[in-house]
Each structure stands twice: as structure tokens, then as C-alpha cells.
Structure 1
Amino acid sequence: MDIATIIGLVLGFGLILIAILLGGAGLEPFIDTASVMIVVGGVIAAALINFPLRNVLGTATVVMKCFLFKLPDSIETIRQFKHFAEVIRKDGLLALEDEASELPDDFMRRGLEALISGVPAEDVSRSLEIELAYLEQRHLVGKKMMDSAGASAPAFGMIGTLIGLVQMLRALDDPSKIGGGMATALLTTLYGALIANVVCIPLAGKLETRNAEEGLLREMMIRGIGLLGEGESPRVVEEKLMAFISPKSRKALQLKAA
């Protein structure tokens, strides 16, 4: 679980809630059903227009990647490939069959199993690269959906504001109706800004970061499987895969090896 995403959301909404409560008026003045309908309904409507239905229905799955998705550790992955190279040098490629079948990462497991079954390393790498390209494309669609929601929420907030102002101006002769129009006018802008700046835009950024991290790790796995197929030594495998991690992580890997 990504604790940073949860902390960020709790902190963002929490500070806003505290600020509202410190004002002394309580939460009731900040709750308006019509404003929620305009902003939330508008965001959903815009998403349905912008994207295929299957993508909209899969929004929850995309968003959950910001909270629950955990990538394998890069340093541990390099150590695994070094270990695999040692096993291959000592007992041959088929000796990896049991270990490969127990790998928790599907991408890495399928690549190794294909290599063990006799598929040329070049073909395995090409197949995995195609899979990675489609994976990145799916992630890009998820980010675009969050970006779209982040852009449309304030826009529908402004639409709600205009609706509220029209209602208020038409009711100037009846002071009892001015409050409702003013609430709609102000709260839709507030709701739109909150949804965009506390939820959608930050989650879009997190999805972009996740995509970059996963893409780099998958590239490293593809390179590692290719090196195993070429019969490189454990030391060469380790050295070449270390190019995918930061200098700080390289030092950590070297300290673990020592």
C-alpha cells in the first residue's frame, strides 16, 4: 500500500475541514446537494463523452493503482537475476524451472518460463517489449482520465456558480430565496476546486510516476532475461542491470553483496 497517497489525501481534506470548523459555522453551510450534483455529475458526464464506457467503468481499478499497487524492489530484482545467472552457469537453464514458476511477478515469470521452454532470448525480449508498450498505453489512458476530471471539475464548478447567480438575481425581490442561489453559486466552485486540486490532479501525477517507475523496472527485467539467454556471467548480469538504478541504490546493492 502506498502510504504517501493516503497521507496526502487525509492531510489535504483534513486541513480544509479543520479550517472550516475553526470558522465556527460548522459543516452544514458547506453542504449543498445541488452543487454536488452539478460538479460530480458533470465530471462523470464529461468522462463518458471523452472516453469509451469500458475505460470509465474501470476508473476505480485505475485509481486503486495509486493506493495498492506495489512494484518489486529494483535491488532485489537485480540480486534475483544474478542468482539466476549463477544457477544457469552451474546447472543449466532448465534448473530455473521451479524457481521461475514461484515468482510473484507475472511479467518476469512469463518471460523466464518462455526462455526456459526454449524460445530464443531475442523473441522473448521482443514479446515482452510489446507487452510493455501496451501496458504503458493503458496507464496513459488512466492518467488522461484523471487529467480530464481535474480539468472538468472546476469548469462545472463555474457552471454551477453561474446557475446560482442567475437564481439569486431572479429572486432579489424575495430575500428568502437568495440564500439558496448564493450557496449554489459559491459551493459549486469550492467543490470543483477541491475535486480537481486535492484528488484528480494529484492522482494523475501519481499515475504518471507509477508508469515511469514500472516502465523502468520492466525494461530492466527484459534486459535481465536477455542477458540470461545470452549466457552472461553473474557478474556481468549484475553490472549491466545496475545501469537501471541510481548511484545510491548501486552502493546499497554493493553493500548487501559484501
Structure 2
Amino acid sequence: MKKSYTTVLALAFGFILIFWAISIDGSVTSFINVPSIAITVFGSFAAVVISFPFDKIKNAPIVLKNLVTKNDNNKQELVETIVSLSRLSRSQGLLALDAEIEGIENTFLAESMKMVVDGMDADNIREILETKIDNMEDRHYIGQEIFLKWGELAPGFGMLGTLIGLINLLGSLTDPSTIGGGMAVALLTTFYGSLLANLIFLPIAQNLKTRTEAEVNTNEMIMEGALAIQAGKNPRVIEQKLESYLEGGRLKEKPEATVASEEREYV
């Protein structure tokens, strides 16, 4: 398994691109206005807090941490691990898997194999694992909704800040020459709202959705593999079944002599 920092790199590239575009014909400091930032960021955050229970909001930092540091499962490696476990089970029995569980990095696979080794009924194993998948999906869904809502609210608060700036500008207007500078400051909140929504909040929500779908698919693959091992199916049959979950093609083909030997061994 490996950690992916693509999200952080893409976010950094996006900010660098924006700063570069600003600095070509202007000054980056002219785009910094503390009241505008406060209205856009903290105002939209207040609306998010109103929209969701606080016990859900406080999990947002954990969601962000997992977005950066959580290991990406290599599905092909998982298939190879499951097939290897099935071979061990067919040759030495289910109890032989007990010694292998501690070395399994994927928590869901390890829990699945523990239930198989404990001799649980196949229907109970499926019911428990499906419940775990559903609960995981619900937890991730809340994180998606929080950032999706934040992405919807940020531009609105940006526009609200712009209206406040325009009202203050027009209400105290005595010198027409100050309109340009005042308008520029007033429009900053719209800029901040659009930036936060389109570069941070909405992409994070989509990333979480994509990761959730991938994790659900991976866990369903693991569940089918564990149930196949529990049923004592041929390792070659298990391998071919799990390959249907792979997006990047099939596992490396074994020499025909090896395949024939395995089939004779497990029939």
C-alpha cells in the first residue's frame, strides 16, 4: 500500500497558478484584505455549523487528514493476498490462516479472515461485512456533504461581502476618484468565495465521493474473496472472480504448466 499526496500537490499548483496570474499585471498584496477573508471564510463556516450537528462538524479535520495521509489500497495486491490465503486454506485448512492474519495490513481483510477462521456462518459473515461497509459509507457521506455545502455557501458569502463593501462605498462617497479603489476592495470577497469553492471545498467533496466509491468497491471485493475461501472454492476460481473488480486489467498470467498443476492439486 502507498500514500498519495496528489491532492496536496494539485492544491499547491492551483494556488501557485493563481498567484502567478495575479503577479503578472498586479500586486499580490492588493488581493489581501482581512475583513473580506473573515466574511467569506468565517461567515460561510458559521452557516455550515448551522447546517450540520456539531458532532459531525468536529470530524471534518479527521476527514481532511485521511484525504492526505490515508493509504491507497492496491487492489491487485489484495487479490494476490486473498488468492494466496485461499491456497493456504485449501492445502492446510482454515485454521492455518490464523497465523497469517497479523501480517495483513488491510483492516477490513484482516477482520474478514478472523470471522472465517472462527467458523462463522457465511450468511452472518456477509451480513456483518455489509453492515460495516454501509456504516463506512455513511461516515464518509457526512464529510462529503459538509464540504459540498461549504462550497455552495462560500460564493454566496463572497457576494454578501461585496454588497456590504458597495453599500459602505456609496454611503460615504464624496470623491468620485475613490470609486475604483473602493470597488476593487468590495469585489475581493467575491474573489475569495469563488476561489474557496472551486479550488478547495467542491474538489475536496468530489475527492471524498470518489474515494468512498473506490473503498466500497474494494471492500465488496474483499468480502466476496473471504466468503469464497470460507466456502472452500478453488483458488483459480477465486482469482478469476476477483479479477472482475480490477480496473487496470488482469493479474500476471501464470505459465500454462503452473495453472494445470494447480488445477490438479485443488480439484
| TM-score of the superposed pair, with normalisation by structure 2 | 0.90
- Does residue 56 of structure 2 align to residue 55 of structure 1? yes
Once residues 226 and 242 of structure 1 are traced to their aligned partners in structure 2, the CA distance between those partners, rounded to angstroms, is 15
Question: 1:177, CA displacement in angstroms?
Answer: 7.4
Judge conservation of contact 2:164–2:186 (CA < 8 Å) in 1. Answer: yes
Aligned to 2:158: 157
Q: Given residue 21 of structure 2, which amino acid in structure 1 is its aligned partner? A: A
Once residues 140 and 118 of structure 1 are traced to their aligned partners in structure 2, the CA distance between those partners, rounded to angstroms, is 33
Aligned to 2:249: 249
**For structure 1, which runs of at least 5 residues remain unmatched after alignment?**
none
Judge conservation of contact 2:5–2:69 (CA < 8 Å) in 1. Answer: no
Once residues 231 and 246 of structure 2 are traced to their aligned partners in structure 1, the CA distance between those partners, rounded to angstroms, is 22
Alignment of structure 1 residues 1-258 onto 2, 5 Å: 1-23=3-25, 25-173=26-174, 181-246=182-247, 248-250=248-250, 253-255=251-253, 257-258=254-255
Once residues 47 and 60 of structure 1 are traced to their aligned partners in structure 2, the CA distance between those partners, rounded to angstroms, is 14
Question: 1:121, CA displacement in angstroms?
Answer: 2.4
Aligned to 2:261: none
Pair 1:14–1:254, CA change in 2 (3 A): same
Judge conservation of contact 1:143–1:204 (CA < 8 Å) in 2. Answer: yes
Judge conservation of contact 1:125–1:225 (CA < 8 Å) in 2. Answer: no
* C-alpha distance after superposition, 1:199-249 (max 9, x if no partner): 111111111110111010000001011101101011111011111113x42
Question: 1:122, CA displacement in angstroms?
Answer: 2.1
Question: 1:18, CA displacement in angstroms?
Answer: 0.6
Judge conservation of contact 1:2–1:67 (CA < 8 Å) in 2. Answer: yes
Question: 1:174, CA displacement in angstroms?
Answer: 5.4
Once residues 180 and 45 of structure 1 are traced to their aligned partners in structure 2, the CA distance between those partners, rounded to angstroms, is 29
Secondary structure, counterpart of 1:108 in structure 2: helix
Judge conservation of contact 1:147–1:201 (CA < 8 Å) in 2. Answer: yes
Question: 1:11, CA displacement in angstroms?
Answer: 1.5
* C-alpha distance after superposition, 1:162-182 (max 9, x if no partner): 000000001112569757743
* C-alpha distance after superposition, 1:70-104 (max 9, x if no partner): 23211111111111111111110000101112211
Once residues 22 and 95 of structure 1 are traced to their aligned partners in structure 2, the CA distance between those partners, rounded to angstroms, is 66
* C-alpha distance after superposition, 1:30-75 (max 9, x if no partner): 1101001100111210110111112211111112232222232111
Judge conservation of contact 2:147–2:202 (CA < 8 Å) in 1. Answer: yes
Once residues 249 and 75 of structure 2 are traced to their aligned partners in structure 1, the CA distance between those partners, rounded to angstroms, is 9
Once residues 180 and 130 of structure 1 are traced to their aligned partners in structure 2, the CA distance between those partners, rounded to angstroms, is 58
Q: In terms of mean alpha carbon deviation, does 208-217 or 4-13 score higher?
A: 4-13
Q: Given residue 172 of structure 1, which amino acid in structure 2 is its aligned partner? A: L
Judge conservation of contact 1:38–1:188 (CA < 8 Å) in 2. Answer: yes
Judge conservation of contact 1:65–1:207 (CA < 8 Å) in 2. Answer: no
* C-alpha distance after superposition, 1:125-160 (max 9, x if no partner): 210100100101111111111110110000000000
Judge conservation of contact 1:39–1:157 (CA < 8 Å) in 2. Answer: yes
Q: Given residue 8 of structure 2, which amino acid in structure 1 is its aligned partner? A: I
Question: 1:185, CA displacement in angstroms?
Answer: 1.5
Q: Given residue 249 of structure 1, which amino acid in structure 2 is its aligned partner? A: G
| TM-score of the superposed pair, with normalisation by structure 1 | 0.93
Q: Given residue 162 of structure 2, which amino acid in structure 1 is its aligned partner? A: T
Once residues 180 and 63 of structure 2 are traced to their aligned partners in structure 1, the CA distance between those partners, rounded to angstroms, is 39
Q: Given residue 202 of structure 1, which amino acid in structure 2 is its aligned partner? A: P
Q: Quote the RMSD (CA, aligned, Å).
A: 1.7
Once residues 137 and 184 of structure 1 are traced to their aligned partners in structure 2, the CA distance between those partners, rounded to angstroms, is 42
